[in-house]
Structure 1
């Protein structure tokens, strides 16, 4: 079966989704966004407090090695995400989008609260980093079905002429999660002495996330199932597993989305998972200033995300994608120059904001392509697998690779060159992987790969 066959394999359910009233649609959006907020918050709090976690969970003889070990745990926790994508994709495509999202937020809330209760290396020795890794693995599994599933649920409920903006809202929730993480980090750094922050303050940040996740669990149990999934009837429970069907019939689509998402996830992980720590360690910036500078740039990230959603609702997806990736590539080196050479708070804000200018739209486009390139019967699996392969292979290792590149080359600009190389792959995917002139409003499955056109 070819990628073209995938478009007609059960199509998009009943065609146009059943319209909800305004209250019902708001509930769907709330259910989708709250888990996404927690997912991004969890991930970024880990990155923001990486320096403290390195001291608390690893031997202190070599601070650089301890920090690299902390980033390695972050990356290893994401290596399991493709396995989680298969698991939650199977649940989402067989049992329903809502069931998968309830399961993911339940696992996420539990593992995140456990993070805030872990004993340190000083208390239990080598068991401390082992427990840290276990919690990260559980977080990675839960995150694998979170943002992707939320995008699927919202898009399948959204009116056709607002699909881009609907998906953008979910991704803005991720930006809000990033902003919340920066705000919590800033607040804790301002309110507590450095010794208090290192001793117990970091735990507060993780416990907050667990409580928000429980709210998300309540909201998701009350949301309606996707009308496009319901329209499939008993079909999802028959035939080959969604993972097998995806590999057999949608390989080209999977590659296109994975390559694109690799570039956007790399930029995102560097912005929120690496740069605050870099500013504190290499730029000698206080934790409060580093968090504040990063938080201000995330506002730009959110605006970029919404603008991207508006553009794909009005213009061909391929044209928007090419423009966004070229803009991101052209601004990466100037942005990093501002960050590493200015030595000031204003320079850190300006550089990170320039970095975020095209990044938000790029991440939103990855979500759009993930959802609309795959038909309803394998949509959750295809979306989750592409996104999580990109995060596992490229995105989650960005802080570790960036720190290693700087250590190996001595050049603070080396991470920006890394971004340029990966962006070239995304540009190739947009030019040769998508058909020209296709608009998001024409319906699921209409944004075809070049092979299927």
Structure 2
């Protein structure tokens, strides 16, 4: 029996998004070991800072990657862009696992590591956005939310897998084994999955929105002229989702360990609980936006973050595992709902000829400004405001921005659409999906 195209789109895109989530955070979780391998051992603090600086460069490259793959996706097809992005990210991740160390080649080692992170950043800039769009454009009527929510879950599972892999390796290997060869294993492990995704994507039917439209020669120029409002709405809503997500899987382990006082293993376990709540919220969001107007769901999720984040952070200060876990569940669930709403905005805010480019630009700029900086800014706020509740205030501010965006920027009754007009570019609504190939 042939597999429906919509389901194949979800599976093929989801595995790629899983790899993206894995690769984003794997470098960060192994930063301490990488610092020993790629920088002089004489100054460990400087080595760690340099390692994190290279980590940040990967985020800076994302908008460039978004524009590159957005252009490819709008001009030459979603599948072409996603095949290219998975080739690039798999190759860059493999290269990190095979790089010679500072002891072997000196200053060329960090330079090569930087080059690999730039390539990772470029590929990730187009991967997640393109995967969402491909799923949405293949989804059947009234199933957009449920289909794309699976891709959000795949991203969170990738982040959890990176954390779990790092923890297991640290527990299973001696310090000498980890620094000699163990750190290479998780980078090499991403390659077989990349090969599987490449095979599936080469066999994946193209999006039904491609080939039934006239694409502009320069999608970015058309997006800048016609989609400024949509990109501002997308970015405004994404402020809460981006900051909340990166606080959960990028900052919470450190916060729970150093500020709340939990042990490293307990902090990791609680963070996994928060990721589970995030995933559950994304799934719930999929059902909600398929049944109710996305604007109403967006307002509800943003309001939920505003009212729960303060009490949740206060609860975490009790210093027990139960309190720390309970202190993440409510607002993490709301962020998950908001993540599905943000994915859906691609098809409510942008017409198909510029959808990939406009979404990638708005998404990646927001991630660079708020996502990549979330751990640093939160740490700075705790130190200078002298209160452990400072990150909660930061997220409340962004949730209020998102709430205002939902109220003012999202049109009442707006639903996902695949057919629209863009100046001289006419897009034909494709036939209902869900049929077998």
Candidates 45, 70, 73, aligned match of 1:89 = 70
Q: 1:344 to 1:131 in 2, by over 3 A?
A: farther
- Give the SS at the match of 1:77: helix
Q: 1:58 to 1:272 in 2, by over 3 A?
A: farther
Q: 1:21 to 1:198 in 2, by over 3 A?
A: same
Q: 1:432 to 1:58 in 2, by over 3 A?
A: farther
The gaps in structure 2 that reach 5 residues or longer are 422-437
> Are positions 1:191 and 2:191 aligned together?
no
Name the residue aligned to 2:286.
Answer: 309
> Are positions 1:344 and 2:325 aligned together?
no
Q: 1:242 to 1:286 in 2, by over 3 A?
A: same
Name the residue aligned to 1:250.
Answer: 227
Q: 1:330 to 1:116 in 2, by over 3 A?
A: farther
1:197 deviates by 3.7
Aligned residues between the structures: 421
User: Normalised by the size of structure 2, how large is the TM-score?
Assistant: 0.88
Name the residue aligned to 1:318.
Answer: 295
**Hey, what's the Cα distance between the residues in 2 that align with 1:444 and 1:387?**
22
Q: How does 1:55-204 map to 2 (within 5 A)?
A: 55-58=36-39, 66-204=47-185
Q: How does 1:218-257 map to 2 (within 5 A)?
A: 218-232=199-213, 235-236=214-215, 239-257=216-234
Candidates 352, 375, 383, aligned match of 2:359 = 383
1:148 deviates by 0.6
Q: Is contact 1:333–1:413 with CA below 8 Å preserved after alignment?
A: yes
Q: Is contact 2:240–2:335 with CA below 8 Å preserved after alignment?
A: no
**Hey, what's the Cα distance between the residues in 1 that align with 2:9 and 2:321?**
39
> Are positions 1:331 and 2:308 aligned together?
yes
1:63 deviates by 5.9
1:206 deviates by 1.8
> Are positions 1:294 and 2:275 aligned together?
no
Q: 1:149 to 1:122 in 2, by over 3 A?
A: same
Q: 1:360 to 1:252 in 2, by over 3 A?
A: same
Name the residue aligned to 2:240.
Answer: 263
> Are positions 1:359 and 2:335 aligned together?
yes
1:121 deviates by 4.3
The gaps in structure 1 that reach 5 residues or longer are 1-19, 447-453
Q: 1:332 to 1:116 in 2, by over 3 A?
A: farther
Q: Is contact 2:148–2:286 with CA below 8 Å preserved after alignment?
A: yes
1:75 deviates by 2.4
Q: Is contact 1:301–1:357 with CA below 8 Å preserved after alignment?
A: yes
Candidates 390, 402, 405, aligned match of 1:429 = 405
Candidates 392, 404, 412, aligned match of 2:388 = 412
Q: Is contact 1:79–1:393 with CA below 8 Å preserved after alignment?
A: no
- Give the SS at the match of 1:227: coil
**Hey, what's the Cα distance between the residues in 2 that align with 1:113 and 1:291?**
26
1:65 deviates by 5.5
User: Normalised by the size of structure 1, how large is the TM-score?
Assistant: 0.85
1:133 deviates by 2.3
Q: Is contact 1:370–1:387 with CA below 8 Å preserved after alignment?
A: no
Q: Is contact 2:348–2:414 with CA below 8 Å preserved after alignment?
A: no
Q: Cα deviations across residues 117-162 of structure 1 (Å, max 9, x unaligned)?
A: 3344455444443333222211110011111101111111111210
Name the residue aligned to 1:394.
Answer: 370
**Hey, what's the Cα distance between the residues in 1 that align with 2:46 and 2:378?**
14
Taking only aligned residues, the RMSD between alpha carbons, in angstroms, comes to: 2.5
Q: 1:423 to 1:91 in 2, by over 3 A?
A: same
1:317 deviates by 1.1
